């Protein structure tokens, strides 16, 4: 039985101009369209710090995410906030009944990513790399996975201990 493969099918920027006021509503937002294998029930996300030349926006407490197809993190009020850079978040659980395209192989979900820009941040174009991981069992630890970083979100390197990962870069 083919459950599909973890992949990012597209990333839609919905807000790319931010005000440095520390407010998620005035920050950046993207919608990641993601295929998750149908037998995998949880998703985790990570981001590196955001950089522009010598300026940095820390990921910790400035990046949150949620999925409308999640049972425990499906809106801004239940979003998971990242507390470290390059460290996978707590899991969000996926609802098997909320597949955006049941006729497409794998479970089709959206992950909404919000970034707030702290007061005093230097203006510029900031970039970050990200990872998305999916697992079969919510209690299972994420295994050690080898991966390759590529400068576009479409290049994928996967596999390892019941965990798939994708790595890419988002430019603001």
pTM of the predicted protein model: 0.83
Tens digit of pLDDT for each residue in 9-27?
A: 888 888 888 888 999 999 9
The share of the chain scoring above pLDDT 70, in percent, equals 78
Q: Which of 116, 113, 100 is closest to 168 using CA atoms?
A: 113
Nearby residues of 140 by Cβ (< 8 Å), 6 or more positions away: 162
Residue 126 CA, chain-centre distance (Å), reads: 17
Q: Which one has a higher pLDDT value, 32 or 157?
A: 32
Q: What is the DSSP letter of 137?
A: S
Report the chain's terminal Cα–Cα distance, integer Å: 39
Both tokens assigned to 97: 């009944």
Q: In terms of C-beta density within 10 A (0-12 exposed, 13-18 middle, 19 or more buried), how is residue 164 classed?
A: buried
């Amino acid at each position: 039985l083919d459950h599909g493969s973890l992949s990012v099918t597209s990333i839609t920027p919905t807000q790319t101009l931010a005000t440095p006021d520390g407010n998620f509503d005035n920050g950046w937002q993207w919608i990641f369209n993601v295929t998750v294998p149908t037998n995998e029930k949880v998703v985790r996300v990570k981001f590196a710090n955001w950089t522009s030349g010598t300026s940095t926006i820390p990921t910790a407490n400035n990046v949150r995410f949620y999925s409308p197809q999640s049972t425990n993190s499906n809106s801004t009020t239940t979003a998971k906030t990242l507390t470290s850079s390059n460290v996978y978040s707590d899991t969000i659980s996926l609802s098997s009944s909320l597949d955006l395209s049941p006729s497409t192989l794998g479970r089709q979900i959206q992950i909404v990513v919000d970034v707030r820009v702290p007061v005093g941040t230097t203006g510029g174009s900031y970039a970050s790399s990200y990872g998305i991981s999916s697992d079969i069992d919510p209690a299972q630890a994420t295994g050690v996975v080898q991966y390759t970083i590529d400068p576009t979100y479409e290049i994928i390197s996967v596999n390892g201990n019941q965990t798939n990962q994708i790595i890419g870069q988002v430019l603001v």
